[in-house]
């Protein structure tokens, strides 16, 4: 069946910070939306539908907040959808919006994801009360640390690899004006000397807790033709899910992640991701997930991901830059983090990434995951309209 090609023609983000005390939740989302519209040189009247995503409602203490946000997002009289797929939600939300255009249900869609984590405490919001979870499994770090350790054991990766990722991402963030953490005095020694939080994950190897929003305007071929800036074209997009826990689950390299990437590559005609993809924005909330996902996404052979990181391949000037924006390690409004990955990938192929631009990026990947490493959402965007 003949789908409408989907293009990203507008991108807007807030400056991500620990606490946006100066704005309401509505003010936060509207800021990103207005910037996306301005980037596309469109107005609210050009938007046919709004697709919004965020992680658990407990983070702000508002049940189904999209109902209250309809006014601020110009959705009155229009369709509005609310997606929630755990940490992958920012990516899933963009894909749901893209499908509305691809199916020719709507011409131009505003998609937005946010989290205002300063309204609550995300770590405890993610921790179930005893007896449903053991008392020391606090927050996402407690859940993922054993899987990081399993990766280290399985591959024999040296202990320092995690700190290299954190050091790289925090330096990349200095080139991204929207990034939350701007640690101008960061050194590798400081990362390695930071306190151990969830062994083997140190404080400086974890994501911050951020307030922020990210928005994109998606449209079809006709809308792209009117776009004042180069559009980013969606060459492939997919979601995959698997259960949280089951006998035989591979937490280090989940099958759902591998299947999701394979689907995206098939749609985009990618046969050698390492060579054919110019930049990757992957969801790395704890530093070790960079080498883990490099393998899961097919950029490295099994057991070899850490070698790419160690060799500097994933640096901004390496041959496979990973998280040129600074990534989740520098900015983490949880519900928005996936969409920021997708939007940053689009910025790269539009040539609009500013100081953290990968020169000549033609194809970039956005990646998000969530839950117990069980929900995956990915897209691959390109500078040129897809041919197939």
Partner 1 sequence: MTGPRTSRYARDVAVVAFAQSDHLRRTDELSEVEMVMPVLHEVLAATGLKAGEIGFTCSGSSDYLAGRAFSFTMTLDGVGAWPPISESHVEMDGAWALYEAWVKIQTGEADTALVYSYGKSSPGSLRDVLTRQLDPYYLAPLWPDAVALAALQAQALVDAGETDESALAAIAARSRADAAANPHAQLRGAVPQGDYQVRPLRTGDCPPVGDGAAAVVLAAGDLARQLCERPAWITGIDHRIEAHGPGLRDLTDSASTRIAAQHAGVFDAPVDTAELHAPFSSQEVVLRKALGLGGSGTDSGSGTDSGFGAVAVNPSGGALAANPMMAAGLIRIGEAAARIHRGASDRAVAHATSGPCLQQNLVAVLEGDPR
Question: What's the rounded Cα separation, in Å, for the pair 285 and 302?
Answer: 21
Q: Are 175 and 353 a contacting pair, CB within 8 Å?
A: no
CB-nearer residue toward partner 1: 139 or 324: 139
Coil, helix or strand at residue 327: helix
If binding is defined by CB under 8 A, does position 126 make contact with partner 1?
yes
CB-nearer residue toward partner 1: 128 or 136: 128
If binding is defined by CB under 8 A, does position 48 make contact with partner 1?
no
If binding is defined by CB under 8 A, does position 335 make contact with partner 1?
no
Least distance to partner 1, CB of residue 280, Å: 21
DSSP letter, residue 385: -
Residue 275, preceding peptide bond in cis (omega within 30° of 0): no
Q: Are 375 and 87 a contacting pair, CB within 8 Å?
A: yes
Contacts of partner 1 in 275-304 (CB under 8 A): none
CB-nearer residue toward partner 1: 169 or 242: 242
If binding is defined by CB under 8 A, does position 142 make contact with partner 1?
no
If binding is defined by CB under 8 A, does position 222 make contact with partner 1?
no
Contacts of partner 1 in 231-270 (CB under 8 A): 238-244, 246, 254-256, 259-260
Of the listed pieces 57-65, 280-288, 299-307, 339-347, which binds partner 1 according to CB under 8 A? 57-65
Contacts of partner 1 in 5-24 (CB under 8 A): 24
Of the listed pieces 53-61, 146-154, 162-170, 361-369, which binds partner 1 according to CB under 8 A? 53-61
CB-nearer residue toward partner 1: 143 or 299: 143
Question: What's the rounded Cα separation, in Å, for the pair 374 and 243?
Answer: 6
Least distance to partner 1, CB of residue 32, Å: 19
If binding is defined by CB under 8 A, does position 374 make contact with partner 1?
yes
If binding is defined by CB under 8 A, does position 80 make contact with partner 1?
yes
Question: What's the rounded Cα separation, in Å, for the pair 385 and 203?
Answer: 42
CB-nearer residue toward partner 1: 14 or 374: 374
Least distance to partner 1, CB of residue 50, Å: 8
Of the listed pieces 65-73, 300-308, 316-324, 355-363, which binds partner 1 according to CB under 8 A? 65-73
CB-nearer residue toward partner 1: 78 or 149: 78
How many residues interact with partner 1 (rule CB under 8 A)?
A: 62
Contacts of partner 1 in 96-125 (CB under 8 A): 96, 99-100, 102-105, 125
Residue 291 CB contacts under 8 Å (≥ 6 apart), including other chains: 151, 155, 157, 161, 165, 300, 305, 306, 308, 309
Which of 292, 301, 282, 306 lies closest to 250, judged by CA? 292
In whole angstroms, how far apart are CA 226 and each of 9, 41, 222? 9, 10, 7
Of the listed pieces 60-68, 176-184, 279-287, 322-330, which binds partner 1 according to CB under 8 A? 60-68
If binding is defined by CB under 8 A, does position 83 make contact with partner 1?
yes
Report residue 174 as tokens: 């200095």
Least distance to partner 1, CB of residue 63, Å: 4
Of the listed pieces 307-315, 324-332, 342-350, 367-375, which binds partner 1 according to CB under 8 A? 367-375
* Contacts by 39-45, CB closer than 8 A, 24 or more apart: 39/9, 39/10, 39/11, 39/12, 39/217, 39/229, 40/9, 40/10, 40/217, 40/227, 40/228, 40/229, 41/228, 42/9, 42/10, 42/108, 42/217, 44/74
Segments in 194-333 forming alpha helices (H): 221-225, 255-268, 273-276, 289-296, 305-310, 327-330
Among 20, 82, 168, 363, binds partner 1 (CB under 8 A): 82
Question: What's the rounded Cα separation, in Å, for the pair 309 and 312?
Answer: 5
If binding is defined by CB under 8 A, does position 128 make contact with partner 1?
yes
CB-nearer residue toward partner 1: 178 or 379: 379
Report residue 113 as tokens: 């994801």
Coil, helix or strand at residue 340: helix
Footprint of partner 1 on this chain (CB under 8 A)?
1-3, 24-25, 55-58, 60-71, 75-86, 92, 96, 99-100, 102-105, 125-126, 128, 132, 238-244, 246, 254-256, 259-260, 371-372, 374-375
């Amino acid at each position: 069946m003949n789908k409408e090609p989907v293009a990203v023609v507008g991108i807007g983000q807030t400056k991500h910070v620990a606490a946006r005390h100066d704005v309401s939740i509505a003010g936060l989302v509207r800021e990103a939306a207005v910037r996306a519209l301005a980037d596309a040189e469109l107005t609210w009247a050009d938007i046919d539908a709004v697709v919004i995503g965020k992680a658990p409602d407990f983070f702000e203490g508002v049940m189904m907040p999209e109902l209250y946000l309809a006014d601020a997002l110009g959705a009155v009289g229009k369709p509005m959808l609310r997606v929630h797929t755990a940490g992958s939600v920012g990516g899933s939300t963009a894909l749901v919006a893209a499908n509305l255009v691809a199916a020719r249900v709507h011409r131009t869609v505003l998609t937005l994801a946010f989290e205002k984590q300063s309204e609550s405490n995300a770590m405890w919001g993610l921790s179930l009360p005893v007896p449903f979870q053991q008392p020391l499994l606090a927050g996402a770090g407690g859940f993922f640390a054993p899987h990081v350790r399993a990766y280290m054991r399985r591959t024999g990766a040296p202990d320092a690899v995690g700190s290299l990722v954190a050091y790289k991402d925090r330096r990349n963030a200095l080139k991204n004006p929207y990034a939350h953490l701007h640690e101008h005095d960061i050194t590798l020694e400081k990362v390695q000397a930071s306190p151990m939080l969830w062994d083997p994950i140190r404080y400086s190897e974890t994501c911050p807790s951020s307030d922020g929003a990210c928005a994109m305007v998606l449209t079809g071929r006709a809308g792209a033709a009117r776009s004042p800036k180069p559009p980013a074209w969606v060459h492939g997009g997919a979601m995959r899910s698997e259960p949280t826990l089951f006998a035989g689950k591979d937490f280090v390299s989940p099958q759902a992640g591998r299947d999701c990437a394979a689907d995206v590559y098939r749609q985009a005609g990618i046969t050698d991701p390492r060579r054919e993809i110019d930049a990757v924005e992957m969801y790395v909330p704890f530093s070790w997930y960079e080498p883990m996902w490099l393998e899961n996404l097919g950029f490295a052979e099994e057991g070899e991901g850490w070698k790419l990181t160690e060799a500097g391949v994933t640096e901004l000037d390496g041959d496979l830059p990973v998280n040129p924006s600074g990534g989740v390690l520098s900015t983490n409004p949880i519900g928005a983090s996936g969409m920021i990955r997708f939007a940053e990938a689009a910025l790269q192929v539009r040539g609009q990434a500013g100081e953290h631009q990968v020169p000549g990026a033609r194809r970039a990947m956005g990646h998000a995951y969530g839950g117990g490493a069980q929900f995956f959402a990915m897209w691959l965007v390109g500078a040129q309209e897809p041919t197939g």
